[in-house]
Amino acid sequence: MQKTLETDDKPAAKLDFRTARDKYRHWSVSIDGPVAKLIMAVDEDSPFASGYELKLNSYDIGVDVELYDAVQRLRFEHPEVRTVVLISGIDAMFCAGANIRMLGTSSHSHKVNFCKFTNETRNAIEDASRNSGQIYLAALNGTAAGGGYELALATEYLMLIDDGNAAVSLPEVPLLAVLPGTGGLTRLVDKRKVRRDLADVFCTVEEGMKGKRAVDWRLIDETVPRSKFDERVSEKALELAALSDRPEGEAGIMLDRLERSVEDNEIRYPFVTVSLDRDGRSATLDIEAPGSDAPADVDEIKRQGVDFWPLAVIRALDDALLHLRFNEATLGTLIIKTSGDGDRIAAYDALLDANRDDWLVREILLYMQRTYKRLDVTSRTTFAFIEQGSCFFGMLADLLFAVDRSYMLDGQLDDRPAAEIQLSEQNFGTLRMSNGLTRLETRFLDDHETLGNVHKLIGKRLDAREALQAGLITYAPDDIDWEDEIRLLLEERASFSPDALTGMEANLRCAGPETLETKIFGRLSAWQNWIFQRPNAAGTEGALKLYGTGKRAKYDRGRV
């Protein structure tokens, strides 16, 4: 059944991020030894929502959900794959980018969420290449335009077929009056170091560039005659594979379909429950500690597969965040809680730490890192409530430093164990933010003394006063004040303008250095969001709306 895309008047169809290879409509995967081909052949008659066709390998959120799934599965299910070749399965077109009619008809909110998710997926591709030994190569066997070229820019090597036609281009500015906002502008100048004046030219030439000039300008790495294209792609793929440190002779673990039940006010996953408070406009994510002790060794982790507690939790958290972003826009506050035995988490942390060089453990930690980053850039207020019986230990303690504020109960409201938190080595290196720092380094920016003192607390159970003293939590209300304080906090937050909070949080969360990722989320996306609000792009006579109608957009000529 055809879904309806969210517009400014209509709510969105519910989006489900769970899929699997045998359900793909737009992508396929073929694996030959160390090389996987990830083949894009978008079914133009299967858009996510009605109202547009996915011509010319253009994409919408449905296409990108499959890409995200494919990238994840290659990492976990295929330890043997060392190079991933992104290639088109249709004739003469690699990818035409985001579907323009979809952009022209969807709501501001959908556009912003869609762009954020596509950015995260492209970052995940870079993460695979750089940290996971699964190196991506763009085999551009046809034109890569707009978001199609931006997808290619997320790979480490771009080969363009020389067939007299195929080109790379970023025609957003001249054609659509929007930005190449899926990392394109940033990756041109900051990743590929394209000279800024040449980048300016390139971004205003609708038809793009090809051949020697595209190589000279660093837009691509290589141009290859049609007759030699397949051979050269294979050769380069094997060359990149040789650089990889992926393991030999290991079996992958299957990402079985994530179990979940979605009720109106509750979503349940293994180890994660999301409670929705629609009147209070908040959602509470409750993470349960493992129900049994940590496995003895890495072999046992592999036997457990997706049931291995850290992986199960991260998969659930990832899905929950995406679900809330796309399907529950009015729940402006996310509350994170935990429950269970913290010592068990400490034992899981120790197990992960001791086996961090194992390919699967590395994948799990990288996935945790990506998911925590997804929380960082989620445009909702995030609070952590540290209550009795909670277990913000080690990898879960890092969530305390991801949220906007944390509240820890100083006292007893019932018979459960008093609230305690505990740090582990995970908080000091494994889980980095997009700015390249750990969350504690960002929290205590340039304050090496405090950071050193906090490091000494590893493995020590901290009560509310100790945690407050160490600067690890925001507030520690006592048992008399707790309920009132929490209630007032949530009411107050819900009374503020959601937009102002989004802007405020986006700025306060990102102290410290900047990277490609932070530039894409903080700078490029903010400008794109602004443009998405401007009549020149999104008005009834704006370029996005009129594209394909043959009518010319009318622009307000004032420069702002």
189 lies in the site for its own copies, by CB under 8 A = yes
Angstrom distance (rounded) from CA 143 to CA 165: 8
374 lies in the site for its own copies, by CB under 8 A = no
Give the helix/strand (H/E) hosting 121.
Answer: helix 108-131
Q: Which stretch binds its own copies (CB under 8 A): 121-129, 186-194, 248-256, 360-368?
A: 186-194
Cβ-based neighbour number of residue 63 at 10 Å:
26
497 lies in the site for its own copies, by CB under 8 A = yes
Assigned token pair, 442:
């960002």
Cβ-based neighbour number of residue 77 at 10 Å:
17
Assigned token pair, 264:
């109106």
423 lies in the site for its own copies, by CB under 8 A = no
Among 10, 92, 130, 201, binds its own copies (CB under 8 A): 201
Among 134, 169, 371, 442, binds its own copies (CB under 8 A): 442
293 lies in the site for its own copies, by CB under 8 A = no
Using the minimum distance from each CB to its own copies, give the nearer residue, 40 or 214: 214
557 lies in the site for its own copies, by CB under 8 A = yes
Nearest to 314 by CA among 274, 256, 269: 269
Among 204, 227, 412, 469, binds its own copies (CB under 8 A): 204
451 lies in the site for its own copies, by CB under 8 A = no
514 lies in the site for its own copies, by CB under 8 A = yes
End-to-end CA distance of the chain: 44
304 lies in the site for its own copies, by CB under 8 A = no
- Identify residues 86-125 at the interface with its own copies (CB under 8 A): 108-109, 112-113
Give the helix/strand (H/E) hosting 385.
Answer: strand 381-386
Closest approach of its own copies to the CB of residue 427, in Å: 16
Using the minimum distance from each CB to its own copies, give the nearer residue, 31 or 470: 470
Give the helix/strand (H/E) hosting 508.
Answer: helix 498-508
Q: Residue count at the site for its own copies (CB under 8 A)?
A: 90
221 lies in the site for its own copies, by CB under 8 A = no
Assigned token pair, 202:
């390139």
Helix axes 359-376, 61-77, angle to 10 degrees: 150
Among 177, 237, 274, 289, binds its own copies (CB under 8 A): 177
Angstrom distance (rounded) from CA 88 to CA 141: 7
Identity of the amino acid at 500: A
Sign of the Cα pseudo-torsion (212, 217, 222, 227, in order): negative
- C-beta separation of 43 from 99 below 8 A: no
To 5 degrees, how large is the angle CA 193–CA 197–CA 201? 105
168 lies in the site for its own copies, by CB under 8 A = no
Assigned token pair, 350:
């120790």
3-class SS of residue 207: coil
Among 10, 496, 548, 551, binds its own copies (CB under 8 A): 496
Among 23, 130, 196, 551, binds its own copies (CB under 8 A): 196
Using the minimum distance from each CB to its own copies, give the nearer residue, 75 or 443: 443
Nearest to 352 by CA among 298, 292, 315, 313: 298
Residue 319 CA neighbour count, 13 Å, CB half = 26
Among 44, 53, 163, 190, binds its own copies (CB under 8 A): 190
Angstrom distance (rounded) from CA 190 to CA 477: 45
To 5 degrees, how large is the angle CA 515–CA 533–CA 541? 135
Give the helix/strand (H/E) hosting 360.
Answer: helix 359-376
Q: Which stretch binds its own copies (CB under 8 A): 83-91, 132-140, 479-487, 489-497?
A: 489-497
Among 80, 363, 505, 517, binds its own copies (CB under 8 A): 505
Among 13, 198, 258, 457, binds its own copies (CB under 8 A): 198
Using the minimum distance from each CB to its own copies, give the nearer residue, 42 or 334: 334
Angstrom distance (rounded) from CA 72 to CA 532: 30
Using the minimum distance from each CB to its own copies, give the nearer residue, 180 or 290: 180
- Identify residues 305-334 at the interface with its own copies (CB under 8 A): 329-332
195 lies in the site for its own copies, by CB under 8 A = yes
493 lies in the site for its own copies, by CB under 8 A = yes
502 lies in the site for its own copies, by CB under 8 A = yes
- State phi, psi for 6 to the nearest 5 degrees: -65, 135
Angstrom distance (rounded) from CA 192 to CA 208: 17
Among 294, 501, 545, 546, binds its own copies (CB under 8 A): 501
Identity of the amino acid at 96: A
- Identify residues 516-535 at the interface with its own copies (CB under 8 A): 518-519, 522-524, 526-531, 533-534
Among 200, 247, 427, 468, binds its own copies (CB under 8 A): 200
Q: Which stretch binds its own copies (CB under 8 A): 42-50, 292-300, 443-451, 452-460?
A: 443-451
- Identify residues 268-287 at the interface with its own copies (CB under 8 A): 281
Using the minimum distance from each CB to its own copies, give the nearer residue, 315 or 519: 519
